[in-house]
Amino acid sequence: MGPGKAELLAAIESTGSIAAAGKRMNMSYRRAWLLVDVMNRSFSGPLVHAAKGGRHGGGTTLTPLGQHVLDQYTKMSAAVNHTAQAYLPLFEGLMSKQVDENPVDE
């Protein structure tokens, strides 16, 4: 589980579709579906439930486990980012005083 898979889960949650989630992330449907398949097989149960299309339409939802995994990953990521902020001042004295703060676009 990493930031890309968490982003995919969040996109599936908000769009209700693997295809739309993949499109939102500039990812092919096949790539999104393969990532969902890996996540569904990697945890103790599936994270995503995809209903087949047809006359009544399909739809994709996060399972309760999928929602829990996404929530826990989001909390972990926020905690890591908060902790990392405390270490950034350690680099201030190590930085060059001649750094161009407005780099030229190449």
Which CATH number do you get for residue 26?
1.10.10.10
Inside any domain, residue 35? yes
Inside any domain, residue 36? yes
Integer CA distances (angstroms), 105 to 13, 95, 97, 102, in order: 36, 22, 21, 9
Inside any domain, residue 90? no
Q: Which domain holds residue 25?
A: 3-84
Q: Which helix (H) or strand (E) holds 54?
A: none
Q: What is the pLDDT of residues 31-76, one digit of tens each?
A: 999 999 999 999 999 999 988 765 566 789 999 999 999 999 999 9
Strands (E), 29-97: 48-51, 59-62
Q: What is the pLDDT of residues 1-34, one digit of tens each?
A: 999 999 999 999 999 999 999 999 999 999 999 9
What is the total count of domains within the chain? 1
Inside any domain, residue 77? yes
